Chains A and B, each alone.
Chain A
């Protein structure tokens, strides 16, 4: 199937049948009703946003469209014809391409192998052909991808390009992108948008899932909002505002300002001096990092992915032993102490990795057990105190409004946002004196993000010192007292968040202090 239909004028195609019509779609997973009577229509040649809070059923709906899930009820029509998908193969054959939130790529294989995989071409010949077509598309849409590079060695941005190339290679003219910007840097996002606009011009229909409203308003033509698995409505982007969309998502008006309580007066908490961490190959991941953090202060950490944020957090938590430098907590050096000692001293860390899974929690255990996982060591005795863990779990679930059938539900089956709330809730529950949190709102919807900001501010008022590693510069400037910028493992500046501008930080992120700029994704290993 050809990807471009130059003989058909986009305006002409808008008048005939819509590209996708999904009607009355329902899907339940056990007792959880993920979709209920959902209606979703996408016209030809438009970018259509699908909005909703975490767990509102967006991913489920798109997995139904791509043949991964079978709906319990409802019909799907493509270009006016009713279709039934028994497998992803059926959906691919009808020109639907999905770029999944968690990339579906085979890591030890090259880009061209991943692209050629599953297509009808014979291999030896098709590998060369795939490589050639990859270069072709890559040039056309401005995606720099080396066909012979292994996916495991790629940055997140490159992996996403491979996913998009895979879809294009299969000749898809309906493209579904599930939270494509969640893991990208601002530059990569701009790039992606240029590619998507280019595809729209060539007649493709695109479904775009995102939590970031300014992206939706910037890129999309129409928006459909889901709430708790049901369709709220579809509106034109031209006639709506961010506030209006949030109201549709949440079901009520939401205050979008982040408060910033003044810094407490309890004195210094953490002093880091000349911290240097090298990886196994001897490359410096942190290079002479020094900063101070006071009680009741939120210090933001900004930087491109892989600038040393992970190493900084892990050094403080005792998971990584620095080559040189000191980490003074209440004037005692904690370098060389075990993670357990450090937890006992009152330091908590939560780190949300890029894939948002696989760190901090045991996925198949339930919420209560995961909460016990960290604090059981603080009590003595041979037997576990399950009762108090249960009460603690219930109070965390209630306080953070975690949506789960019960505290005995395996964490793996919660949506991403709820998983993150469990992690943060557990760390806060330990009443730390220092809270290190990295990417706490990664992939979270607006409502959940604000819940997390409020939680952090609550801790700040209690005098907790908070190190907040973040991605969204607007939030860093609104939430934090000061922002430290990392570039290639060095501190390129520590600025006052009240008086600084985004552009200033953006420049520091690329190392404008005289050092060589570091490319996006440099030094980014497997999380």
Chain B
């Protein structure tokens, strides 16, 4: 009975890890963008652009590398559009981001029409079937305590594909970048006080463009995970509102890449709970398993993230000081 529970728990965690990947990568991307002082509500749109471009190329070429590249370019194009409008022309960031989401979703759904119902080709499937960290535990399975613990850890965290570990590595890399590198310091300075950064000789405009493009590209990689690895086919609106959870998660994890891994995992786990309610209606015994209610989960979670992030929080750092404020050097 106890082993049964442990197996269940490990499987639950493993599913949560898998479903948290697009949330994590998207949160990292939006964190980079917001650290430069730009609130990009186009996350959902850029995820869709990356997903469609990447999946199309994967189906046509059967190359993982080209698929990733296409996702980066697709979402990067969306981010570039946003950057030109909000940095160079100082357009309203909220309106521009919303427009990008609507535009990106529409373009992606149109592109995706040609590959609806198709599956990733063999080489791509094989690549993401690899479990590079999966350990051979046959030698210690019968050792007391150590055996079951190792088995649990392996089942929950080590039987994943490259995408999962890539996401975690990206989080660690970004945390190091923001805290320890010169470019990271400059990025933070630009987001906090662009006038001060400018007066210190930092290239503010170039820095903003770089951060928005890099952030958008990460969102594209977040989106590509859905058709390529998670669902393994294309359907309309395949990212299903995850871009909005991301926007809230960034605030929930206080613009911190390390906390983003935990925050994404938490919301991955909540999503699994949602699926379980759907799969076992007797668990809830109510209308909670209705498809319409299930479709609401991303948005409910967005609200939940915002409530949790803002509950009882009145002191300390409240996010980048110049978030969503356009910068113009000659402003008087």
Chain A contact residues, CB within 8 Å of chain B:
29, 66, 68-70, 87-89, 92-93, 98, 100, 103-109, 113-114, 116-119, 121-124, 126, 166, 170, 412-413
Selected contact of B180 from candidates A109, A117, A123, A170, CB within 8 Å: A123
**Which residues 107-159 of B sit at the A interface, judged by CB distance below 8 A?**
none
B19-63 vs A, CB cutoff 8 Å, 1 = contact: the mask equals: 000000000000000000000000000000000000000000000
Contacts of A103 in B (CB 8 A): 196
CA distance A325 to B77 in the complex (A): 64
The reply on B240 being an interface residue by CB < 8 A is no
Shortest distance in angstroms between B322's beta carbon and chain A's nearest beta carbon?
10
Contact A104-B185, Cβ < 8 Å, known A68-B330, A117-B202? no
The reply on B181 being an interface residue by CB < 8 A is yes
CA distance A118 to B198 in the complex (A): 8
The answer to whether A123 and B199 touch across the interface, beta carbons within 8 angstroms, is: no
Selected contact of B186 from candidates A69, A70, A98, A117, CB within 8 Å: A117
**Which residues 177-207 of B sit at the A interface, judged by CB distance below 8 A?**
180-182, 184-186, 188-189, 192-193, 195-203
New A-B pairs, 9, CB < 8 Å, besides A98-B199, A117-B200: A29-B330, A68-B329, A69-B330, A104-B200, A106-B188, A107-B321, A114-B200, A123-B185, A412-B332
Contact A68-B180, Cβ < 8 Å, known A106-B192, A107-B321, A117-B186? no
Contact A68-B198, Cβ < 8 Å, known A108-B321, A122-B182, A123-B182? yes
Contacts of B203 in A (CB 8 A): 87, 89
CA distance A107 to B185 in the complex (A): 13
Selected contact of A118 from candidates B195, B197, B317, CB within 8 Å: B197
CA distance A117 to B203 in the complex (A): 11
Contacts of B193 in A (CB 8 A): 104-107
Shortest distance in angstroms between B54's beta carbon and chain A's nearest beta carbon?
34
The answer to whether A106 and B330 touch across the interface, beta carbons within 8 angstroms, is: no
The answer to whether A123 and B184 touch across the interface, beta carbons within 8 angstroms, is: yes
CA distance A413 to B189 in the complex (A): 25
The answer to whether A88 and B198 touch across the interface, beta carbons within 8 angstroms, is: yes
The answer to whether B332 and A123 touch across the interface, beta carbons within 8 angstroms, is: no
Contacts of B332 in A (CB 8 A): 29, 412-413
Chain B contact residues, CB within 8 Å of chain A:
180-182, 184-186, 188-189, 192-193, 195-203, 317, 321, 329-330, 332
Contacts of A68 in B (CB 8 A): 198-199, 329-330
> Across chains A and B, which 7 residue pairs bring their CB atoms closest together, nearest first?
A118-B200, A104-B196, A118-B201, A89-B201, A104-B199, A123-B182, A118-B202
For this complex, 26 residue pairs linking A to B, each with C-beta atoms less than 8 Å apart, are A29-B332, A68-B198, A68-B329, A69-B329, A87-B329, A88-B198, A88-B201, A100-B199, A103-B196, A104-B193, A106-B192, A107-B321, A108-B317, A114-B196, A117-B189, A118-B201, A118-B202, A119-B200, A119-B201, A121-B182, A122-B182, A123-B180, A123-B184, A123-B185, A166-B200, A413-B332
Contacts of A107 in B (CB 8 A): 192-193, 321
Shortest distance in angstroms between A301's beta carbon and chain B's nearest beta carbon?
30
CA distance A288 to B329 in the complex (A): 47
Contacts of A98 in B (CB 8 A): 199
The answer to whether A117 and B330 touch across the interface, beta carbons within 8 angstroms, is: no
CA distance A93 to B332 in the complex (A): 25
Shortest distance in angstroms between B42's beta carbon and chain A's nearest beta carbon?
26
Shortest distance in angstroms between B313's beta carbon and chain A's nearest beta carbon?
15
Contact A118-B180, Cβ < 8 Å, known A88-B198, A108-B317, A166-B200? no
Selected contact of A116 from candidates B184, B185, B195, B329, CB within 8 Å: B185
CA distance A431 to B192 in the complex (A): 42
The answer to whether A118 and B186 touch across the interface, beta carbons within 8 angstroms, is: yes
CA distance A98 to B200 in the complex (A): 10
Contacts of B317 in A (CB 8 A): 108
The answer to whether B196 and A105 touch across the interface, beta carbons within 8 angstroms, is: yes
Contacts of B184 in A (CB 8 A): 123
Cβ-closest chain B residue relative to A116: B185
Choose among A69, A106, A412 the residue with the greatest number of B CB atoms under 10 Å from its CB: A106
Contacts of B180 in A (CB 8 A): 123-124
The answer to whether B185 and A92 touch across the interface, beta carbons within 8 angstroms, is: no
Cβ-closest chain B residue relative to A412: B332
Contacts of A66 in B (CB 8 A): 199
Shortest distance in angstroms between B203's beta carbon and chain A's nearest beta carbon?
7
Cβ-closest chain A residue relative to B314: A280
Shortest distance in angstroms between A131's beta carbon and chain B's nearest beta carbon?
14
CA distance A122 to B186 in the complex (A): 11
Choose among B180, B181, B182, B203 the residue with the greatest number of A CB atoms under 10 Å from its CB: B182
Shortest distance in angstroms between B228's beta carbon and chain A's nearest beta carbon?
36
Contacts of B202 in A (CB 8 A): 89, 117-118
The answer to whether A113 and B196 touch across the interface, beta carbons within 8 angstroms, is: no
Shortest distance in angstroms between A412's beta carbon and chain B's nearest beta carbon?
8
Cβ-closest chain B residue relative to A108: B317
Cβ-closest chain A residue relative to B198: A88
CA distance A173 to B326 in the complex (A): 33
Shortest distance in angstroms between A413's beta carbon and chain B's nearest beta carbon?
6
Shortest distance in angstroms between B43's beta carbon and chain A's nearest beta carbon?
25
Cβ-closest chain B residue relative to A59: B332
Shortest distance in angstroms between A128's beta carbon and chain B's nearest beta carbon?
12
Contacts of A89 in B (CB 8 A): 201-203
Contacts of B321 in A (CB 8 A): 106-108
Shortest distance in angstroms between B255's beta carbon and chain A's nearest beta carbon?
11
The answer to whether A117 and B185 touch across the interface, beta carbons within 8 angstroms, is: yes
CA distance A192 to B182 in the complex (A): 31
Choose among A29, A68, A116, A126 the residue with the greatest number of B CB atoms under 10 Å from its CB: A68
Contacts of B197 in A (CB 8 A): 106, 117-118
Cβ-closest chain B residue relative to A122: B182
Shortest distance in angstroms between B173's beta carbon and chain A's nearest beta carbon?
15
Shortest distance in angstroms between B87's beta carbon and chain A's nearest beta carbon?
15
Contacts of A87 in B (CB 8 A): 198, 201, 203, 329
The answer to whether B200 and A108 touch across the interface, beta carbons within 8 angstroms, is: no
CA distance A68 to B196 in the complex (A): 11
Cβ-closest chain B residue relative to A93: B201
Contacts of A93 in B (CB 8 A): 201
CA distance A260 to B56 in the complex (A): 84
The answer to whether A126 and B196 touch across the interface, beta carbons within 8 angstroms, is: no
CA distance A389 to B331 in the complex (A): 28
Contacts of B199 in A (CB 8 A): 66, 68, 88, 98, 100, 104
Contacts of B196 in A (CB 8 A): 103-106, 114
Contact A123-B201, Cβ < 8 Å, known A104-B193, A106-B196, A117-B189? no
CA distance A479 to B198 in the complex (A): 42
The answer to whether B200 and A123 touch across the interface, beta carbons within 8 angstroms, is: no
Cβ-closest chain A residue relative to B330: A69
Shortest distance in angstroms between A282's beta carbon and chain B's nearest beta carbon?
15
The answer to whether B188 and A109 touch across the interface, beta carbons within 8 angstroms, is: yes
Cβ-closest chain A residue relative to B190: A106
Contacts of B200 in A (CB 8 A): 88, 92, 104, 114, 117-119, 166
CA distance A122 to B183 in the complex (A): 9
Shortest distance in angstroms between B55's beta carbon and chain A's nearest beta carbon?
39
